[in-house]
Amino acid sequence: MSRGSGGGYDRHITIFSPEGRLYQVEYAFKAVKAAGITSIGVRGSDSVCVVTQKKVPDKLLDQTSVTHLFPITKYLGLLATGMTADARTLVQQARNEAAEFRHRYGYEMPADSLARWIADKSQVYTQHAYMRPLGVVAMILGIDEEKGPQLFKCDPAGHFFGHKATSVGGKEQEAINFLEKKMKNDPAFSFEETVQTAISALQSVLQEDFKASEIEVGVVRKEEPFFKVLTTEEIDEHLTAISERD
């Protein structure tokens, strides 16, 4: 196999292109969008909520096995948008790392440490040729003892930021525009407002009202800092509240 140095291989493995770009990383981002799912995360004053579409392509599939929302520990959740197989690898490694952290240091891994660990692992895939970047963008949510509710987003390039609100996937730019307007004056959302902002953002960009079974919602709250996936009934309550409000 011939060497890199721009002999056309800058598109096949993560070496620099003449413009100083990493094409493999950019293609990984495209793979996230190609999954056709949009996810939204919103951080309130005492809670964090993430919402994603639940597309079950085949009626014969067991719906309960189709999920993008994964508990990493009792307190941390991870929403993976993109390639499901890559997501499962990431979740498996994250669960392992969080458990080892707890064992090694004697306290629960905070959200920002987990986000940093995931981002650092993603960076390794962008620098070493033997592993491709993962086609997943991960949103980490948790309640930090000192800093309060936290929402982090980690991407295939190895970037990670804390967010007040964010979006990933096919319609991420529209969603981010919607959220920027809502969060412009640094509002302090209550739990209900946080969930409703997230759900209505998704409804607005997808331009459809969905049923409770078509979305997945995960939350963490200060009063009850465990990561929780809402049941269909709970989602229905929020959907009703949104339609009554409008």
Partner 1 sequence: MGDSQYSFSLTTFSPSGKLVQIEHALTAVGSGQTSLGIKAANGVVIATEKKLPSILVDETSVQKIQILTPNIGVVYSGMGPDSRVLVRKSRKQAEQYFRLYKEPIPVTQLVRETATVMQEFTQSGGVRPFGVSLLVAGFDDKGPQLYQVDPSGSYFSWKASAMGKNVSNAKTFLEKRYTDDMELDDAVHTAILTLKEGFEGQISSKNIEIGVIGNDKTFKILTPSEIEDYLQEVE
121, exposed or middle or buried, with CB in 10 Å at 0-12, 13-18, 19+? middle
> Residue 83: how many CB atoms within 10 A of its CB?
18
197 lies in the site for partner 1, by CB under 8 A? no
Identify the residue among 12, 95, 164, 228 touching partner 1 (CB under 8 A). 164
DSSP state of 12: T
For residue 85, the minimal CB distance to partner 1 (Å) is 20
Q: Is 145 helix (H, G, I), strand (E, B) or coil?
A: coil
Min dist CB 212 to partner 1, Å, is 26
Residues paired with 77 in a beta bridge: 71, 141
Q: Which of 109, 141, 179, 201 binds partner 1 (CB under 8 A)?
A: 179
Assess 123 for contact with partner 1 (CB under 8 A). Answer: yes
Token pair for 9 = 């291989």
Q: Which of 142, 80, 137 is nearest to 109 (CA)?
A: 142
Q: Give kind and range of the element (H or E) at residue 121.
A: helix 111-127
CB nearer partner 1, residue 21 or residue 211: 21
The reply on whether position 107 binds partner 1 by CB under 8 A is no
Q: Which is nearer to partner 1, 105 or 161 (CB)?
A: 161
Neighbouring CB atoms inside 10 A of 67's CB total: 16
Q: Does 67 bind partner 1 (CB under 8 A)?
A: no
Q: Kindly state the DSSP code that residue 65 receives in the 8-state scheme.
A: G
Examine residue 134 and tell whether it contacts partner 1 (CB under 8 A): no
Which of residues 50, 80, 83, 119 is near partner 1 by CB under 8 A?
Answer: 119
User: Which residues sit at the interface with partner 1, rule CB under 8 A?
Assistant: 3-6, 10, 13-22, 43, 112, 116, 119-120, 122-124, 126-130, 152, 157-159, 161-166, 176, 179-180, 183-184
